[in-house]
Each structure stands twice: as structure tokens, then as C-alpha cells.
Structure 1
Amino acid sequence: MPAQPTSLHRGRFAPSPTGPLHLGSLVAALGSWLIARRAGGQWLVRIEDLDPPREVAGAADAQLAALHAFGLHPDGAVVRQSDRGHLYQAALETLLSRGNAFVCHCSRRDLLESNGIHRACVPRARRDDPAIRLRVHAGTRVAFDDGFHGRVEQDLEREVGDFVLRRADGLWAYQLAVVVDDAAQGITDVVRGADLLASTPRQILLQQRLGLPTPRHAHLPLVLDPDGRKLSKTLESLPIDGRDPIPALRTAWRLLGQPPEALERSATLAEALATATAAFDPSRVPRTPGDLLAAPHNGLVTDDA
């Protein structure tokens, strides 16, 4: 599975179509867009529609329309993971043929005694719909340098165990799909929320097993409400207002740790984005979730809008 060779910075924003584009999504989209633009590189959009039961009808198109309203235009065609199963199947067959993956009949109940961590198959019965897992050997550790969090290291055998590549319901696991897609699209820099920081070592291990390049990583802190709660549990589900994008853009800019006054005089969206691109300073991005608070909630669509 050859990756697209490139020396150009190439980033991406990859939302799941489980609802409208919200403030947390905008912060991730704007952060990845600014880093790509600052590097003179490209920025792509990928719809991660791997889980139909969780998908909201029309959400993907609404998210794309919101990005367009905010002037965040991808440098290429939008990719949808639902169209790419043949690529994931090819990668899975490679892993199976090399002995790096195996069929697993264990249920969640079977793994209760190990806190859900799979280190050996202990099924009570064979299943008609077994999962397929990546084999994680004892002593497997992965370390990488994150652009915002510094050195990150994980003992995959102890903390994660053998992890799922294709689920028992036949759906593709995120870990496999994201690795295959990042390689196929020549992604050099993954900029996303810190909720995916712990997943990165699994993806790096998969890249190593498949002989794929590992991109640079930078994980943005999660947006919290003033009480310190993850915004997805409170206001994050409220959509942003694409009819009047500048207020929400200014809020996302501030949440990225950038000086609010930089965008105060921007009267148009084009002017605001041009100013943001020139003024963006990655060193100001908060390193911890507690530094990234979402009040006031400017630019959100409220119930009385």
C-alpha cells in the first residue's frame, strides 16, 4: 500500500458526522487549518463515517457547509471513509498474512476479568461474527514527540493489549482506517483534539507493521466549559452560526490562545482569516485542558436564535 510521497506539509480535518459542526470542532478545524497555512502547505477534509448507527442523517453535508461558511476550504476533494472499505480490507489482509493480526472470538464479557484488555483469547464460545485484532507483543512500547505535549510514551501491551481492527459487527475500527487514509492521502501532520492523544501509539504501531510513514502529531487541548467540564458534555452540541461567522471565529481564535485584539478590526471573513494566518503563533496554544475555556460562548446558535 504505497503512500503518496510528499515533502509538503499536508494536514487534515476529519470530523465524524454525528451532529453539526460545534465550537470544539471549529477550534480543531481552525487550528489544523492555521498550522497548514502557516507552513505554506495543504489542508484536506475527510469525513469519518465509519459507524452508521451513530451517524446523523445530513450531518456530513451540514458540517461541510459550515466549513465553507467559515472560509475553511479544503485543498482537494473531500474523502469519505464509507467509500474506502477496499483499502482497509487490503491492509487487514496484509496484517493477517504476516501474522500481525488474528481472528478473535472473545466477547466483552469474556474480557471482564482483565478490565477489557485482550492479551490472550479466552472465549467461552466461538462466535459467528468474530472480531479481528492486532497482535501486541509483550514489552511493546511506543514513544513520540507531540507538537504541544512533548514526549509521550505508552506501554501498549500493559495499557491497551491486542486491539480491534475490524469489529464483530463487521464495521472497521477507527485505528485501522485512520492509518490507511493518512498514508493514502500523504498526510504529514496530524493536528487534532487531545482526546485522541492516547490513540496515537496504536496508530504508530500499525504504521510500523504496515511499513507506512508516521506523520508528525500535535494535539490541541480539549475545550472546557467554565466549570472545567468537557464541552461535549455541556454546550459543544450547540451548532456554530455560519450565517455570521466572525463572532465564532474570534471565539475559536481566542480559545487557541491567540491575542483577541488581533482580529478586532477585521470587518470581513476574508480579512479575518488573512490576519489570523499572518498572526498565528503556535507557541501560544494552551498545553493543558484547563487553559482552554469556552466562555463566553460567542457564535453559537442558541435555542432562541
Structure 2
Amino acid sequence: MVTNSCSFEDVDKLMQSLELVIYVPTFVFGLVLNTLALTVFCVVLRKWNESTIYMTNLALMDLLLLLLLPFKMHAIKHCWEASKKLFCSFLESMYFVGMYGSIYTITCIAVDRYIAIQHPFRAKDIRSPKAAIIVCVIIWCLALVATSPIYGFRDNSDKPFHCFHGFSDKGWSLALIGSLEVFGFLLPATVLMVCSVQNIRTLRQSQKQSAKSRAGERIMYSSLCAFLIPFTPCHLGIFLQFLVRQGIITSCQSQTSIALFVQVAMCLANVTCCLDAICYYFIAKEVRSSRETFRLSISQRRTTSTSEV
């Protein structure tokens, strides 16, 4: 395990200021954008298809993560009493529910698009708003179950502690970190990239791209950005910190660099709450376009029937 010979005071002091610089704008803009997205999907558009259901679920996941940022900002400079460890574990669990719930919701959006584009005839039997709701409920349940071990990551010390920091050795076991990296990142990242690449290739090979297919392509690009940009450095940092905690990386200079990298990466992972707004925009545009097309077709039918009379 990691030795105590290295000092991380400089890293902690730097992060106390840097985390606030990242968290404050992320909280403000993320709260506005996700609240606006829920308003658009639930009040303005009110068209509950598969895309809007997944996007609503993604906005709820992002809001859960955002509402926990004030607690993280408070924990940066303030120690909590030992009596608040259970409450802290609950907040930490909900934080990771929001993070990994977002990861799997973005992945499900890519799979849903893959089914619709690659298997359009079977899609009518597989895709439905009811199926999308069931998938979203499963994501919430799995995220809650998968994050439950966090309640055992705090030691039994009566000393004050910093919430969201300083997990015990139980939180850095090989089985736990291996499962986190594989099922929390590598597997959904692989599914997302394979589905997105196949979909983009199919859309580009079509002789004539419609406005809807172009919007679908933009949604896939935005999903890739919202996934890879914040979550890749985050999980790379977790893996490197795991090597430190296992005593594989022993250099003090390397340990301090990794400590700084993983904390900055975890901060930037929260930026996904703002990047997801790109997906919201293209989904809303796609839904609005489909509604206008439907209204135009109805109008043309009425005009044709009137002229025949």
C-alpha cells in the first residue's frame, strides 16, 4: 500500500482554489442548462419518444450530481465531524450514482440509435417509450446497487475527516477498481464507440442525407464528446491512483503528480453536466423537426382533399 513519506500539502492547497474555480461555473451553468432541458422536454415538446425519455433521464442524473456539488465545495476546506460519516457516505454514493448513471444513459442512447439505424424493421418491435422507461429504471437500480459498497469505505476513526476524500484501503481493492474500470468505463465506452462509428458510417453512405439523419449524426458526435472528454481522464487517474495505493508506483514525485491529476480529472468529470446540453439541443431540434414535418404532411393532405372536392 501507499507509504506516508510523501507530502501532498501543496497539492491540497492548490486544489482548494482550483476545485472552486471549476465547481462554481459548472454548478451555475449546469443547473440552468439541465433545468431548461427538463422544461423543454416535459413542458414545451411533450413528445415522449425513446430519445426524449433517455434525455430526460440524463438530465435527472446530471441534476443529482450538480445538487451534490455544494457539499463537495464545502468539504474542500472544512472537516466534518465523525458523526457525519454515514451522511457523507450517502452523498458520495449519490454522486457516483449520478456519474455512472449518466455514463450508462449515454450508452443506451447510442444503442437505441444503433437499433433504429441498423435494424429499422426490427426496431418497431424492440424500441418503444415503455421499453425506454424500463431501461432507465434499471439504470437507476443498478447504479444504486453498484455504489452501495461506498458505505464501507470509511474507517472507524473518531477523527474529523474531509468528505469526498480519503477513502480507506477497502475502496482501492483490485476487485473493486477492476470492476469500476471495466464495467464503469471500458465496456460502455466500447459499446458507445462501436455503435456511434457504425451509425455514422451508415448515415454517410446513404445517397441522400435528410435533415433528420444529419441531426442524428450530430447527436452521436455530441454523445461521444460528452462521454470521452470528461470520463477518460477521470478513469485513467483512478487507475494510476490504484497503482499508487498498491505500492507499484513509489516515487514521491510521481505520487504527487498523480494525486494532482486524479483530483483535477475528477473535477473536470463534472463538466459532463454542461456538455450533455449539446445532446439536449440536437434532440430537441430533431423532435421539433419531426413535429413540423408531421404538421406539414397533415396540411398537405387537407389541401389535397379540399382541391379534390
TM over 0.5: no
Which structure dedicates a bigger proportion of its chain to strand?
1
Which structure dedicates a bigger proportion of its chain to helix?
2
Larger radius of gyration: 2
Q: Which TM class, normalised by the smaller chain length?
A: under 0.3
TM-score (norm 2): 0.23
TM-score (norm 1): 0.23
User: Which protein, 1 or 2, shows the higher relative CO under an 8 Å CA cutoff with sep ≥ 6?
Assistant: 2
